[in-house]
Amino acid sequence: MRTVLEDMLSCKLPLEYVDFICSHDGAIPEPNSVIIGINNESGVRRFIPVAEAVKVIAEVEGFPDAIPLGEDDCGNFFYINQNTGGVFFWDHEIDGGNIEVAPSLIKFLEALVPFDSSSVKLKPGQLKYAWIDPSFKPEFD
C-alpha cells in the first residue's frame, strides 16, 4: 500500500511517517489533546491506516494534497504536508482551515498530551444547548 500512496501523491513518504506506520498503523490513541492555533485545541481520535489514506484523499471533498495522518471527533483531519513534513490541522467546515500544528511528525506526537475532562471549566451560561444521541443509554450503578 505504501507504493500506492506514494504513487497517488507523486512523492516519497517521509521516513518518520514510514517508521510511525510500521509500528502504529491505524492506532487508536488514549484520549488526548493538542494545541491548534491560538486558544483552540483538538484531540486525535484515531490515526488513519495507510490502506485507508488513499480513500480519504479520493473521497473527502476538499482534502488537501497531503498525507492523511489522523482524525478528530468532529470529522476534521490532521495531515502531513508532503513538501515540508509539517503536521497540519484541516477543518472541513472552514475554507483555508489549514493550521500548522507542528513542524514534524515527531514534534506533533510529542505535543499530544493526555486529555483530562476535569480541566474543562465552563462559565455560567456558556453552554446554550447540547444534543444527546437518543440511542445513548447510560447505565449507572
CATH number of the domain where residue 15 is located: 3.40.1580.20
What is the residue range of 111's domain? 2-119
Specify the pTM.
Answer: 0.80
Query: Do the domain assignments include residue 26?
Result: yes
Query: Do the domain assignments include residue 8?
Result: yes
- As a whole number of angstroms, the distance between CA 141 and CA 18 comes to 45
Query: Do the domain assignments include residue 137?
Result: no
- pLDDT one digit per residue (tens) for the chain, 141 residues: 556 777 777 778 888 998 898 899 889 999 899 999 887 889 999 999 988 988 998 899 989 989 999 999 989 999 999 889 999 999 988 877 789 999 999 999 999 999 877 777 888 888 887 887 777 766 765
Of 60, 66, 26, nearest to 46 by C-alpha is 26
**32, β-bridge pairs:** 114
Asked if 101 contacts 89 with a C-beta cutoff of 8 angstroms, the reply is: yes
Number of domains into which the chain is organized: 1
Query: Do the domain assignments include residue 134?
Result: no
Residue 12's alpha-carbon distances to 48, 65, 84, 87, 104, in angstroms, are 18, 14, 12, 16, 16
Cα-trace Rg, the chain: 17
